[in-house]
A and B are shown apart, each in its own frame.
Chain A
Amino acid sequence: MYELKTLLPQFDIKLPTCMYELRNVSLSAGSAPCPQAREIQCNGAAKSERNNSKSATCALDLDILGQQIQHLLKNEDTAAILQRQEKVLKQLEELKAQLGLMRENLGVKVCEKSVQQTTASNNGGLKEIPLHDVVVNGHPNFIPYALLALKNAWRDLFTIDVKTFTHSTMADIGPAAREFEANLAKIAVNEALPKIKVTLIWKNCEHTEMISSPTMYVPIYGEVNIIRYLGRVGPPEYRYENSPLCNEIDAVLDICYQLLRCSTHKSQVAMVRLLDKRLNDQQYFGGNQMSVADIGVYSSLIRMPAIKDKDLTPALLAWRKRAKLITQI
């Protein structure tokens, strides 16, 4: 390696005497400072000072450290160094225990479920950070079927615990939404799996929106974006961010978003064609594995009663049958 020259000229630094000298933290953390260790430190420091003044080139103390070790070995202080090593190891152990305790405390304080989540973390879900329970506001005319589809698809992997409420701005939620509620309630909550709590509120609102934290009010609009969010926190099988199909899945979800905004039948059919092109004789969108893209398309098609079977291509119909087995809607 290169040796760097010190940038600053050599000064004689006189330490002021009006201040206390701080004890070395790493050495004195455990019990009372071991005089032996202190001495070594002092020796080292003294030596390095001397060394510095001689060469005046070395900023890193590697040389000095080496010399120090040599010096120690020469002095046959192996016993001392052993002692010191043991002490350091012990301190590390203590530190580890302390951190573990802290983590446990924090976990319990922030969210009651975190313990359960950590135990099940290899199954999916985020590890240390407890999931926010999220609120989804939806209009009964635009039912977020994706929640039910995901719940069904993930029933053995991840629990989406959905509680439904009706907001005072809605006088009646209608039969479709009631049926949807009943279907959501049918799936039992498996406590062993990692879970996210979703509060679904029927509300007279324009968009399907999701709120995770009230302090940072950053709503997520649109059903497909909620699917994306859940896809990130859900089981690893459905996390698509690191998958090579990431762009493909995003593209399909974007088409779903467009599809839901189409008002004329003609434009809807055009979007269906685009979907068919994307599917392209594969088992599922983007390959042979069910992904959040399929959930998005499946949910969107339910919300579009104007799109009849005759508007779908044979490939899409076959896909729909396959997807139905998993989403069970």
Chain B
Amino acid sequence: MVEDKENTASAGQEPVSKKAAKKQAKLAKKAEHKADTAAALAANEAAGDSAADHAAARYGLSEMIQSKDKRSEREFVTVSDLNAHVGKGLVWVRGRVHTTRAKGKQCFLILRQQSSTVQCILAVGDIISKQMVKFAGNIPKESIIDIQAKAVAVPTKIESCTEQLLELSVEQIFVISQAKAQLPLQIEDASRPENADDAEGLNIRVNQDTRLDNRVLDLRTPANQAIFRLEAGVCRLFRDILTEKGFTEIHTPKIISAASEGGANVFTVSYFKDSAYLAQSPQLYKQMAIAADFDKVYTVGAVFRAEDSNTHRHLTEFVGLDLEMAFKYHYHEVLHTIGNTFTAIFKGLRDKYSREIEAVGQQYKVEPFKFLEPPLILQFAEGVAMLREAGIETGDEEDLSTPNEKLLGRLVKAKYDTDFYILDKFPLAIRPFYTMPDPNNPMYSNSYDMFMRGEEILSGAQRIHDPEYLIERAKHHGIDITKIAAYIESFRYGCPPHAGGGIGMERVVMLYLGLDNIRKTSMFPRDPKRLTP
């Protein structure tokens, strides 16, 4: 304390020289220390060298694997399957060094394989030499190693590992790929649970940008492993469910000649001598597929938005899951299909991805996602009535502002206990020109939004499929007809009535898991400030 005070006091007077002096002193000390340790090491090594290493063939740095040997005699077991090998013979396991700690004649090493961890132990004995223990203790974290070991049951649970009932007694250990000794972030820090109330616990965090800059390391945390496996699940379920419903997957071009919607927020790219745009929605192409008699189509692909909005839920490139469907007489046929698709995705995630959801929940404390089956459908007017009841002033033809949207989500949650609901019949005035107006009330339209945890995830509508009426509506909105001539033209050769919508995969995963930032659910996110990695 006293010293500190003195330092600060003197630092105030002549900061530069004092600091420099301190620095020098520190450096000198460091050098001294280094020399000491080096000497000790040399002495140790000399001692080690002099002692015969009876385990020399059982450890070491493996030569770079260039597919020289097949080594098909080595039987590898995944960490999660180890419990079937307890008390049996030797097995091979490949994994990463999560942590390693040599202490005298023993070395404890935690081996990690994706989200599973297991404790390994090396103790000096007949098989293992002192040098081998030392070697194991010095393997840098995150290196990939092959070990041959026996699975042994342990009397007390190992709390720090996912395999709590067994440990591996190592007999051979080889480093396959060595990691740098200095890591830009520690996996333990990156995977530490986020509970703000826990003042006692360690509070070391890795901030979002460090994570994203070193995404390869960051993605190794159990939560991230789970997030992206679940994201794959969302895509798979979307495909499977729609295929079962008779949909066809289509692929739409991402380089387009004219801005499909509006035109303000598209990326321009050079295209030989001309310029082109990156597609901000596959909508026109979905509709063209409908006009071409594909009846029900969906597409999974990148969507680009040149919006300079740095929020928790906007990306400039994301994966769009879009679907479009022809219907017979009423767009509710489509509305129910989309709603049921969502319910089926949620059910699939709940039933098949419970382990992943749990793993995410261990790091990010969130409420499990709740939904109703069949999905709850409210009319826009009913939503407005609920908001008014809660004391919010909002007009009948006014769009929901973000706070109102959130509040409505909370109200619906309080009343129906569901995180997913559909709002039907939006006011015509706030929807794009191609939206079909409601036949009974000109104020409303045949359009709908879907919400997860109070945030809009899908916006869709019955589209006008009659070219003349489309022109009329476009004129009403003051849109230059010449610019959308191609769009109108595609309906000239007969087109069935159709409706559809699209969702952003990252946003759905974020909201399903209740995460606070869309960058957590995009493997390599793109936003106005990030183009790498």
Q: Interface on A for B, CB 8 Å cutoff?
A: 109-112, 135, 137, 165-169, 171, 199, 201, 203, 211, 213-215, 217
Contact bitstring B371-394, A, C-beta under 8 A = 1, else 0: 111101000010001101111000
Q: Which residue of A lies closest to B396 (CB)?
A: A109
Q: Are A167 and B370 in contact, with the CB atoms below 8 A?
A: yes
Q: Which residue of A lies closest to B368 (CB)?
A: A168
Q: Are A168 and B370 in contact, with the CB atoms below 8 A?
A: yes
Q: Which residues of B contact A167 (CB under 8 A)?
A: 370-373, 417-418
Q: Which residues of A contact B388 (CB under 8 A)?
A: 109-110
Q: Are B415 and A168 in contact, with the CB atoms below 8 A?
A: no
Q: Are A215 and B370 in contact, with the CB atoms below 8 A?
A: no
Q: Are B372 and A201 in contact, with the CB atoms below 8 A?
A: yes
**Interface residue? B414 (CB, 8 A):** yes
Contact bitstring B304-346, A, C-beta under 8 A = 1, else 0: 0000000000000000000000000000000000000000001
Q: Are B385 and A135 in contact, with the CB atoms below 8 A?
A: no
Q: Are A112 and B381 in contact, with the CB atoms below 8 A?
A: yes
Q: For the complex formed, measure the closest distance between the CB of B27 and the CB atoms of chain A, giving whole angstroms.
A: 61
Q: Are A135 and B415 in contact, with the CB atoms below 8 A?
A: yes
Q: Which residues of A contact B385 (CB under 8 A)?
A: 109-111
Q: Which of A109, A112, A199, A214 contacts B411 (CB 8 A)?
A: A214
Q: For the complex formed, measure the closest distance between the CB of B425 and the CB atoms of chain A, giving whole angstroms.
A: 11
Complex CA distance for A110 and B416, rounded to whole angstroms: 19
Task: List the 6 closest A-B pairs by CB distance, nearest first.
Answer: A214-B414, A214-B415, A165-B372, A166-B373, A214-B411, A168-B371
Q: Which residues of A contact B346 (CB under 8 A)?
A: 168
Q: For the complex formed, measure the closest distance between the CB of A81 and the CB atoms of chain B, giving whole angstroms.
A: 46
Given contacts A168-B346, A214-B412, A215-B389, A137 and B417 within 8 Å (CB-CB): yes
Complex CA distance for A107 and B423, rounded to whole angstroms: 22
A-B contact pairs, 24 of them (CB 8 A): A110-B388, A111-B385, A135-B416, A165-B372, A165-B376, A165-B416, A166-B373, A167-B370, A167-B372, A167-B417, A168-B350, A168-B369, A168-B372, A168-B418, A171-B351, A201-B416, A201-B417, A211-B415, A213-B389, A213-B415, A214-B410, A215-B390, A215-B411, A217-B414
Complex CA distance for A36 and B386, rounded to whole angstroms: 51
Q: Which residues of B contact A171 (CB under 8 A)?
A: 351
Q: For the complex formed, measure the closest distance between the CB of B108 and the CB atoms of chain A, giving whole angstroms.
A: 41
Q: Which residue of B lies closest to A110 (CB)?
A: B385
Q: Which residue of B lies closest to A213 (CB)?
A: B389
Q: Are B416 and A199 in contact, with the CB atoms below 8 A?
A: yes
Complex CA distance for A214 and B378, rounded to whole angstroms: 15
Q: Are A165 and B373 in contact, with the CB atoms below 8 A?
A: yes
Q: For the complex formed, measure the closest distance between the CB of B403 and the CB atoms of chain A, giving whole angstroms.
A: 16
Complex CA distance for A316 and B381, rounded to whole angstroms: 48
Q: Interface on B for A, CB 8 Å cutoff?
A: 346-347, 350-351, 368-374, 376, 381, 385-386, 388-391, 410-418
Q: Which residues of B contact A199 (CB under 8 A)?
A: 376, 416
Q: Which residues of B contact A201 (CB under 8 A)?
A: 372, 416-417
Given contacts A199-B416, A201-B417, A166 and B372 within 8 Å (CB-CB): yes
Q: Which residues of B contact A203 (CB under 8 A)?
A: 417
Q: Which residues of B contact A168 (CB under 8 A)?
A: 346-347, 350, 368-373, 418
Complex CA distance for A112 and B413, rounded to whole angstroms: 22
Q: Besides A112-B381, A214-B414, 4 other CB < 8 A contacts?
A: A110-B385, A165-B373, A168-B368, A214-B411
Complex CA distance for A211 and B412, rounded to whole angstroms: 11
Q: Which residues of A contact B368 (CB under 8 A)?
A: 168
Q: For the complex formed, measure the closest distance between the CB of A228 and the CB atoms of chain B, giving whole angstroms.
A: 20
Q: Which residues of A contact B416 (CB under 8 A)?
A: 135, 165, 199, 201
Q: Which residues of A contact B374 (CB under 8 A)?
A: 165
Q: Which residues of B contact A169 (CB under 8 A)?
A: 370
Q: Which residues of B contact A137 (CB under 8 A)?
A: 417
Q: Which residues of A contact B386 (CB under 8 A)?
A: 214
Complex CA distance for A215 and B390, rounded to whole angstroms: 6
Complex CA distance for A135 and B416, rounded to whole angstroms: 7
Q: For the complex formed, measure the closest distance between the CB of B507 and the CB atoms of chain A, giving whole angstroms.
A: 20
Q: Which residue of B lies closest to A212 (CB)?
A: B415
Complex CA distance for A165 and B373, rounded to whole angstroms: 5
Q: Which residues of B contact A215 (CB under 8 A)?
A: 389-391, 411, 414
Complex CA distance for A135 and B417, rounded to whole angstroms: 10
- Centre residue among A111, A169, A171, A215 by max chain B CB count within 10 A: A215
- Centre residue among A112, A165, A211, A217 by max chain B CB count within 10 A: A165
Q: Which residue of B lies closest to A217 (CB)?
A: B414
Q: Which residues of A contact B372 (CB under 8 A)?
A: 165-168, 201
Complex CA distance for A112 and B370, rounded to whole angstroms: 29
Q: Which residue of B lies closest to A173 (CB)?
A: B373
Complex CA distance for A214 and B392, rounded to whole angstroms: 14
Q: For the complex formed, measure the closest distance between the CB of A115 and the CB atoms of chain B, giving whole angstroms.
A: 14
Complex CA distance for A109 and B369, rounded to whole angstroms: 32
Complex CA distance for A137 and B381, rounded to whole angstroms: 24
Q: For the complex formed, measure the closest distance between the CB of A178 and the CB atoms of chain B, giving whole angstroms.
A: 13
Complex CA distance for A169 and B373, rounded to whole angstroms: 11
Complex CA distance for A168 and B357, rounded to whole angstroms: 14
Q: For the complex formed, measure the closest distance between the CB of A130 and the CB atoms of chain B, giving whole angstroms.
A: 9
Q: Which residues of A contact B369 (CB under 8 A)?
A: 168
Q: Which residues of A contact B412 (CB under 8 A)?
A: 214
Q: Which residues of B contact A213 (CB under 8 A)?
A: 389, 415
Q: Which residues of B contact A111 (CB under 8 A)?
A: 385
Q: For the complex formed, measure the closest distance between the CB of A284 and the CB atoms of chain B, giving whole angstroms.
A: 35
- Centre residue among A165, A168, A169 by max chain B CB count within 10 A: A168
Q: For the complex formed, measure the closest distance between the CB of A140 and the CB atoms of chain B, giving whole angstroms.
A: 13
Complex CA distance for A172 and B419, rounded to whole angstroms: 19
Q: For the complex formed, measure the closest distance between the CB of B344 and the CB atoms of chain A, giving whole angstroms.
A: 12
Q: Which residues of A contact B410 (CB under 8 A)?
A: 214
Q: Which residues of B contact A214 (CB under 8 A)?
A: 386, 390, 410-415
Q: Which residue of B lies closest to A133 (CB)?
A: B382
Complex CA distance for A325 and B372, rounded to whole angstroms: 34
Q: Which residue of B lies closest to A132 (CB)?
A: B389
Q: For the complex formed, measure the closest distance between the CB of B420 and the CB atoms of chain A, giving whole angstroms.
A: 9
Complex CA distance for A165 and B386, rounded to whole angstroms: 20
Complex CA distance for A215 and B410, rounded to whole angstroms: 10
Complex CA distance for A109 and B368, rounded to whole angstroms: 35
Q: For the complex formed, measure the closest distance between the CB of B393 and the CB atoms of chain A, giving whole angstroms.
A: 12
Q: Which residue of B lies closest to A164 (CB)?
A: B374
Q: Which residue of B lies closest to A215 (CB)?
A: B390
Q: Which residue of B lies closest to A167 (CB)?
A: B372
Complex CA distance for A199 and B378, rounded to whole angstroms: 12
Q: Which residue of B lies closest to A211 (CB)?
A: B415
Q: Which residues of A contact B391 (CB under 8 A)?
A: 215
- Centre residue among B391, B413, B416 by max chain A CB count within 10 A: B416
Q: For the complex formed, measure the closest distance between the CB of A136 and the CB atoms of chain B, giving whole angstroms.
A: 11
Complex CA distance for A199 and B412, rounded to whole angstroms: 12
Complex CA distance for A112 and B381, rounded to whole angstroms: 9
Q: Which residue of A lies closest to B412 (CB)?
A: A214
Q: Which residues of A contact B417 (CB under 8 A)?
A: 137, 167, 201, 203
Q: For the complex formed, measure the closest distance between the CB of B106 and the CB atoms of chain A, giving whole angstroms.
A: 47
Q: Which residue of A lies closest to B386 (CB)?
A: A214
